[in-house]
Amino acid sequence: MLTHRRWKSLDRAELGWLRAKYHFAVSADGDPAHTALGPLIVWNDDEIAVGGGFPMHGHRDMEIITYVRQGLLGHRDTLGSEGVIPAGDVQVMSAGKGIRHAEFNRGDVPLKLYQIWLVPREAGGEPAWDTKPFPKSDRSGRFVVLASGFASDEGALPIRADARVLGAMLKAGESVRYESSPARRAYLVAASGRIEVNGEPVGPLDGVAITNDAMAQISALEDSELVMVDAG
C-alpha cells in the first residue's frame, strides 16, 4: 500500500533563519495522518539561512541521520567532534545516554538538509558521531545504503536501529526496484525530480509511505534524486 504525503500537505514552521517542513507530525496539533513508521519518527526538510543554525542543545536515545542536499553543514558536539559536511555527504549521530551539539550553516547559500530520526534498538550506550561522502555517481541508477543498523551493509555508516537509509540517482526514463519483506515499512522522498512509485505519480519533495508491499517499482519521469528509509 502507498500513502502519498504531498509537499503542500506537510506541517511547516517559519522561524526567520529556519524554514522547515515535517513529513511526520512533530506536535500534538500536527497532521494525525502523518504518523511514525516503526522506528522512523522524524523526517524534517530544513532550510537554514546563511549565518543561521541550531545552538548547542541535547539529545539522548535517538539515532539522527543528516542528509545534506545543498550547502555546507557545520557540526560541533560535546565529544569534541567538529566537521563541515558538504552536499552529498551524510552525517550520523548516535545520541546514546546523552550528547549536546550545535549545527549551523557554514556556507554562503541557504543550507538544505534532511534530518531523519530513528528510535534505537536499546536505550543508553556511549554517544558517537561520524560522517562520510557518498558520491552521487556511485548511486547512478541504483540504491546505495548510506547508513545501516545491519552489519551486512558494508560501507554504510553504522547506526543502532533496525533500519537502513538509502539513496539513488535516476536519469529520466530509468527505473529501479526495491524489494523487501511485506512486513517491513519504508518511506521514500523525491529530493528532486518527478517519479512514479508502482504507477503513483510523485512530485518533487513529496514523500510516500510504503507498507504491506514486498516490492516498489520506482520510475523517473525526469532526472531525480531519491532518499529512502527502510524502517523495519
Residue 126: CB partners within 8 Å, gap ≥ 6? 96, 97
Give yes or no for a contact between 156 and 164, defined as CB atoms under 8 angstroms apart.
Answer: yes
pLDDT by position in tens, the chain (length 232): 899 999 999 999 999 999 999 999 988 788 888 999 999 999 999 999 999 999 999 999 999 999 999 999 999 999 999 999 999 999 999 999 999 999 999 999 999 999 999 999 999 999 999 999 999 999 999 999 999 999 999 999 999 999 999 999 999 999 999 988 878 899 999 999 999 999 999 999 999 999 987 789 999 999 999 999 999 8
> pTM for the full model?
0.95
CATH at 217? 2.60.120.10
| Dihedral sign, Cα of residue 189, residue 194, residue 195, residue 201 | positive
Residue-level pLDDT at 30: 84
219 torsion bin: left (phi>0), alpha (psi -120 to 50), beta (else): beta
**Radius of gyration, CA atoms only, the chain:** 17
Give the residue numbers spanning the domain of 71.
Answer: 2-230
Q: What is the DSSP letter of 9?
A: G
Which amino acid, 125? G
Helix/strand/coil (H/E/C) assignment for every residue in 90-132: EEEEECCCCEEEEEEECCCCCEEEEEEEECCCCCCCCCEEEEE
What b-and-e string marks burial along 69-106, b requiring 16 or more CB atoms within 10 Å of the CB? Answer: bbbbbbbbbeeebeeebebbbbbbbbbbeebbbebbbb
Number of domains the chain contains: 1
Pick from 51, 32, 186: nearest CA to 116: 186
Residue 139 confidence (pLDDT): 96
Q: State the pLDDT at residue 180.
A: 80
Q: Let me know how long the chain is.
A: 232
Residue 45 sits at the vertex; the CA angle it makes with 111 and 17, to the nearest 5 degrees, is 50
